[in-house]
Amino acid sequence: MIKLNVNDKPYEVDVEADTPLLWALRDEIGLTGTKFGCGIAQCGACTVHIDGNPMRSCVLPVSSIGDRKITTIEHLARDGYHPVQQAWIELQVPQCGYCQSGQIMSAVALLADNPSPSDEDINMAMSGNICRCGTYQRIRAAIHRAAELQQESH
């Protein structure tokens, strides 16, 4: 049994130590917001936060996590939508939507570190997240809008 702290709740999952976190989250815990994209940590669809840092869950063995805090898209906001999610909806960012949970998780981490990013900051932070539909301009605009929403709420 592997113990995990997911979304501020303790879980025990009966998986092999080398099982990728993605599959423990989806198949064992039932949190399906984190998506499988490429399986080689290149597309970003599987992005979750480990102690606030964006990580690719498709290649992260559950045994390497220990007692670190895992946050999935399901736990970004307890009382509605996180400002990034609000901006995504307001600006109608998704086209097919498959990559968007990973995009949002990466954007949230960016704004936590840099509350007022430039276009170049956004491009660098989001460069590891692939959108097959090509909504990069809307993603960038939504990150700027989320930064505004966060500043308004403070």
Which domains occur in the chain, in start order? 2-75 (3.10.20.30), 83-153 (1.10.150.120)
State which residues of the chain have pLDDT below 50: none
Global confidence as pTM? 0.95
- Specify burial of residue 31 (Cβ count, 10 A radius: 0-12, 13-18, 19+): buried
What residue spans of 28-135 are helical by DSSP H? 83-90, 100-113, 119-126
From CA 73, how far away is CA 102, in angstroms rounded? 8
Strand partners, 82: none
Amino acid 78: pLDDT: 74
Kindly give, in sequence order, each residue whose CB lies less than 8 Å from that of residue 129, ignoring residues fewer than 6 positions away: 43, 44, 45, 47, 99, 102, 103, 106
Report the run of H or E that residue 144 belongs to, with start and end.
Answer: helix 136-153
Decide: 31 and 71 in contact? Cβ < 8 Å.
Answer: no
pLDDT per position as a tens digit, 36-68 = 999 999 999 999 999 999 999 999 999 999 999
CB count within 10 Å of CB 121 equals 14
